[in-house]
Amino acid sequence: MRAALSTTLLIFSAGGAFAQPAEVPPAFDVASVKASATGTGEGRGRENVTPSPAGVTMMNVHLKSVMQWAFHVQALQISGPSWLDDNRYDIVAKAAGEAPTDRQRVMMQTLLAARFKLAYHRETKDMPAYVVTVAKSGHKLRQSDSDGEMELKPSSKSPMAAAFTHVTMAQLLERLSPALPGVVIDQTGLKGTYDFNLDMSPYLGGGDFHPTGIEDIITLIIQAAKEQLGIIIEQKKVPVEVLIVDHAEKIPMEN
């Protein structure tokens, strides 16, 4: 009797397992992927990534740049063959309807696996990084009082100043990270959208100081962020998650 009952339970258990299909990863409804007509190598024109509520268009992009967007990481967090920074592609991907950006990023991961046969694994490495925190006295950002897309308005008074509206901390750091030669890690805990002004001109010494190298630019950014935004940027060596590319095809599969 017990043997029969055990067999029956096993059958029902197995049947339940087989009745649950593997979760299908989210994917774009239609996508065009092709080598860019611009060519390869340096000096071949600017990369252009234009997201929308129902898809994303990427023109003249390196595969590493596509991975950065798809996995929401920085360039230093991707390790792979040198051609990831060389070959360029045009990608137009559309979802069946409106989809949040985070979901579209996962859709792009699915596209990379299907068209470029991308395979990767993750590792954690100690490396120099710029760790961003809130000052002990608190931040000076104003909470946005309305919804809307991020907007940046350059000042008419100074080329070194701009007004930011509806900006998340992630978007602010994406703006600053190209000038910071290291991984930028957000430890502020700030999750809202904010409005603020940022002006570098007060640190130019009345025109006597002109930044001549990356170290000068970094100094300006760190000082302005601290004094005007209440945001501290410190360079530290910390564990950082890195994507290691195990395989990728240079020529994407046909559309």
Task: Note whether 149 and 199 are same-domain residues.
Answer: yes
The 10s digit of each residue's pLDDT in 99-157 is 999 999 999 999 999 999 999 999 999 998 999 999 999 999 999 998 888 898 888 77
The model carries a pTM of: 0.76
65 in a structural domain: yes
What percent of the chain shows pLDDT beyond 70?
A: 85
Task: Note whether 100 and 166 are same-domain residues.
Answer: no
Flag whether pLDDT at 214 surpasses 90. Answer: no
Task: Note whether 146 and 45 are same-domain residues.
Answer: no
Token pair belonging to 152 = 């940046």
Burial environment of residue 251 by CB neighbours within 10 A (0 to 12, 13 to 18, 19 or more): exposed
The boundaries of the domain holding residue 145 are 127-239
Task: Note whether 138 and 86 are same-domain residues.
Answer: no
The 10s digit of each residue's pLDDT in 219-251 is 888 999 999 999 999 999 999 999 999 999 999
15 in a structural domain: no
Task: Note whether 131 and 235 are same-domain residues.
Answer: yes
1 in a structural domain: no
Q: What is the mean pLDDT of residues 21-41?
A: 82
Token pair belonging to 244 = 């290691």
Q: What is the mean pLDDT of residues 173-191?
A: 88
pLDDT, greater one: 81 or 157: 81
| Summary mean pLDDT of the chain | 86
User: How far is 132 from 127, CA to CA, in rounded Å?
Assistant: 15
Burial environment of residue 35 by CB neighbours within 10 A (0 to 12, 13 to 18, 19 or more): middle
Bridge-based pairing state of the strands 151-154 and 161-168: antiparallel
Check residue 55 and give left, alpha or beta (phi > 0: left; psi -120 to 50: alpha): left
What percent of the chain shows pLDDT beyond 90?
A: 63
SS3 161: strand
Task: Note whether 235 and 141 are same-domain residues.
Answer: yes
Task: Note whether 197 and 105 are same-domain residues.
Answer: no
User: Rounded to whole angstroms, what are the CA distances from 16 to 1, 6, 25, 123, 158?
Assistant: 23, 15, 21, 35, 66
